[in-house]
Structure 1
């Protein structure tokens, strides 16, 4: 009997419930309803009034702006004169609202940026947005709606750079492992509309930007590459340094380097006060922290101890995974009452390189108090947010969340190998992209667990044993083919190819994939680490010793069966 099978199914179900409530809390319609009111003269946001000029217009770009625009159009009524939205293709979230918005014809609704990448459709939408805002005047208020995905949906390269040159450079920079901050520095330098460009085009209209943050630290100049924030003086030099850091600057044409990166342009400083445009108000109405707080409430309903540790995770997925494994080890030790006090607990965590997690001392102290007072048998859910990066070196299909889940599965197994007492804890990991699209895939993310690699290796061993007993040529060929496929699907090989989507689609018949469809929101990624002390010291299938027989035909290859996890 696989003692973890039933528990894993229960935990997956609970984590899905937590995810559902977290995503619901940051849906654009919910955020507008919660944070925005209209009193006939002012738009009141987060309790503060913002006077509106005679005519109000809405322009939006991003994965969440459809729901935001619908709610605002309903609030403003006849005060709203028109607008344009640039949204992703196949946006399925809140379909009734979006379809009503399209039928209203008050706001033009344009789709583009398939697979999260700028395309000619989003380029065309941006041209229409530019033309629209350039026609606004002093009597107008432009309400800008900005959310994650805005960089791909608001796309207009500075000449002489072409559409293809800018798109390809951004993709190469992303695949090189550049952070979202580094990407946005370069994007601003190459764009007509980013780095404050769009706000300047709308001047002298008043601009009120309502923003759903999808970046670590909620930095306004980074979200969608800062279309309402002046580009700082050092951006040009910094963008050159970033491109050189990733060996990409020399790949640009001499004309592009000269006109876009080396020529110095001056802003009209009369429009800027304290580093901000004096005709623009930027307001964040939702972020990753909002989703984590909802996760904690959802965990509490399930009788889990939900502990928020950080919403500022960034760095390479490999480094993040190792840090998570080391953090989980320290927390298991705390749950075993292995520390004399919170200072020792924090000192132990500090011995490891967990800088990519950006842990906060105050939150760690609060977490320690929760761990040491935990009721016997109660599960712990670590709640962490951010946006790691992946260096793409292979030709596979995947995303950072699926890669993080599989990498953590290996790293936690490695911790158990070094300290077998950790096997007393059941651990399940989940990483999801809140927009429902992890990389160019239809998966939001994936679950991770230490039994993945041992099960794959057991499957390999069973195939090799079967081959030794087989003498029929056709059967041998079939076994060799399966061995070749299993070899390619060993986690370490999958990670080397960046092919986690293919792996999770096949492993245990896809039950470790999390597929939500496009959610209609975007507040970076959510990571969950579930910890629970086992009720017995029995052998742990898939971790220390695997006693469960693996059905070779159904485990990996036959997608119509339920897989190998059986109750008996």
Structure 2
């Protein structure tokens, strides 16, 4: 599990800018780990003579959330359940911590059979629940993929194809999850409906702009305000084919989700235990403690990753050259969830590799044009940028020059979405391994 450095050990940003930025990232990640914040939101266990406690959940932070719950839940209070997380994202078990919650792994970002079987098992566990029972639902980003159960008339292969096309389309997370909720038997509040009449307490780590619980992991236990008509419009907008039976279900409203005010949510509560803004604030506080003023632009930035990178680059150049709108030295921080539209590959062109953070860094490097005294790091807080083994990448004043010295031009790598190949060749990837949490994009620009 990733750990932060004590503030007293922060690198000197003037002498070690890259190390300083990496430490800010690690501090942001540490703030989002569930053990530090979950305890304040746990309900009282039910009377074991009357009810039981069932734990279910899904997401990239599922493993660490389950372990945090096991550590915090009273030892004499019965508890059992099943949580699904991404392959390779189960943290090492702390010595002496008894396992009471089963953990299984499944695929992200495209769902697989393991995720479908996990969803089927979780639904089966909800059968026979009573009003005296308590369900603790642990939800984090990535749950849309690792917890998958296709709607009637749709196969897993159909779901995989639609999901991949959505990922490649450039659709933003709200659009993607609107579709996912209506093409599922567990998302969009349907899991809460399956738990009725039990009381449900949802504990959530946010990975979406605005911290909308209806979007995080496609909101399996919260009301859904989106509609079948909206889902169908999104599918048509991005020219994504669906089986005729599913289209008919969307057109008729047969695949509609439980809405706000539905009786299935009576007595339910949902809590955000970690958010992107909290992580950005932790990084900002650390920078200020090191004598560097910090400015948080927003935790809700969306848009094409490369274009967001260009905007950040223009801002950093203004600070470096004119001291506007911020005085230097300073750190500029931002979060959110950008998107990458996959460009068609030309015949004979090698396949590109990389994710949102790397694509942002390519756009940023191009906009900075070798600007002196500007360093940057963009990384995904789950430790995995897309489907690669890196969390993100660094940009330095000599990024373009070092790449060109190795015969690498930025434009061709952007054309084929190959951030991994570009930054790997010059030793500028950040590799952390899975962090066991997920509050989405982290970006830090240091201007000296």
Whether TM-score is above 0.5 comes out as yes
Matched residue SS, 2:37? helix
Which of 250, 254, 259 is 1:265 aligned to? 254
Alignment partner of 1:18 is 2:24: yes
Contact 2:56–2:135 (8 Å) recurs in 1: yes
Residue 417 of structure 2: aligned partner: 498
How many residue pairs align between the two structures? Answer: 429
Residue 128 of structure 2: aligned partner: 135
Residue 230 of structure 2: aligned partner: 238
Between Structure 1 and Structure 2, the one with more helix by share is 1
Give 1:41 shift: 6.5
Give 1:60 shift: 1.5
1:338-388 CA-to-partner distances (Å, cap 9, x unmatched) read 6xxxxxx5xxxxxxxxxxxxxxxxxxxxxx5xx3xx6xxxx3111111110
Alignment partner of 1:522 is 2:438: yes
Residue 32 of structure 1: aligned partner: 38
Matched residue SS, 2:300? strand
Gaps of 5+ in 2: 1-11, 346-350
Matched residue SS, 1:211? strand
Alignment partner of 1:66 is 2:63: yes
Matched residue SS, 2:334? strand
Inter-CA distance 39–246: structure 2 relative to 1 (3 Å threshold): closer
Alignment partner of 1:385 is 2:383: no
Matched residue SS, 2:297? strand
Alignment partner of 1:108 is 2:96: no
Query: Separation in 2 of the partners of 1:203 and 1:36?
Result: 21
Contact 2:213–2:222 (8 Å) recurs in 1: yes
Residue 469 of structure 1: aligned partner: none
Residue 352 of structure 1: aligned partner: none
Residue 123 of structure 1: aligned partner: 116
Residue 377 of structure 2: aligned partner: 430
Residue 314 of structure 2: aligned partner: 326
Give 1:110 shift: 1.2
Residue 88 of structure 2: aligned partner: 90
Query: Separation in 2 of the partners of 1:440 and 1:161?
Result: 25
Inter-CA distance 427–23: structure 2 relative to 1 (3 Å threshold): same
Contact 2:192–2:264 (8 Å) recurs in 1: no
Contact 1:55–1:79 (8 Å) recurs in 2: no
Which of 205, 215, 228 is 2:208 aligned to? 215
Residue 150 of structure 2: aligned partner: 157
Which of 441, 450, 454 is 2:401 aligned to? 454
Query: Separation in 2 of the partners of 1:435 and 1:19?
Result: 11
Q: Which structure 1 residue ranges, 4+ long, deviate > 4 Å from structure 2?
A: 6-9, 37-42, 266-269
Contact 1:230–1:276 (8 Å) recurs in 2: no
Query: Separation in 2 of the partners of 1:54 and 1:334?
Result: 65
Query: Separation in 1 of the partners of 2:294 and 2:51?
Result: 47
Residue 227 of structure 1: aligned partner: 220
Give 1:280 shift: 1.8
Query: Separation in 2 of the partners of 1:37 and 1:189?
Result: 30
Inter-CA distance 120–9: structure 2 relative to 1 (3 Å threshold): farther
1:228-252 CA-to-partner distances (Å, cap 9, x unmatched) read 12333x521111111111121xx22
Q: With structure 1 as the length reference, what TM-score do the two structures score?
A: 0.71
* Aligned pairs (5 A) from 1:301-340: 301-332=289-320, 335=323
Gaps of 5+ in 1: 1-5, 43-51, 339-344, 346-367, 417-422, 460-485, 533-568
Which of 179, 197, 200 is 2:193 aligned to? 200
Contact 1:92–1:517 (8 Å) recurs in 2: no
1:81-113 CA-to-partner distances (Å, cap 9, x unmatched) read 3111111222253x123x866x63x32221111
Contact 1:288–1:386 (8 Å) recurs in 2: yes
Give 1:30 shift: 1.7
Alignment partner of 1:402 is 2:358: yes
1:319-346 CA-to-partner distances (Å, cap 9, x unmatched) read 21221122223333552xx6xxxxxx5x
Query: Separation in 1 of the partners of 2:43 and 2:264?
Result: 25
Inter-CA distance 85–272: structure 2 relative to 1 (3 Å threshold): same
Q: How large is the RMSD of aligned CA atoms in angstroms? A: 2.6
Query: Separation in 1 of the partners of 2:37 and 2:264?
Result: 25
Contact 1:92–1:519 (8 Å) recurs in 2: no
* Aligned pairs (5 A) from 1:487-566: 489-507=408-426, 510=427, 512-532=428-448
Inter-CA distance 266–431: structure 2 relative to 1 (3 Å threshold): closer
Query: Separation in 1 of the partners of 2:132 and 2:149?
Result: 27
Give 1:79 shift: 2.5
Contact 1:429–1:529 (8 Å) recurs in 2: yes
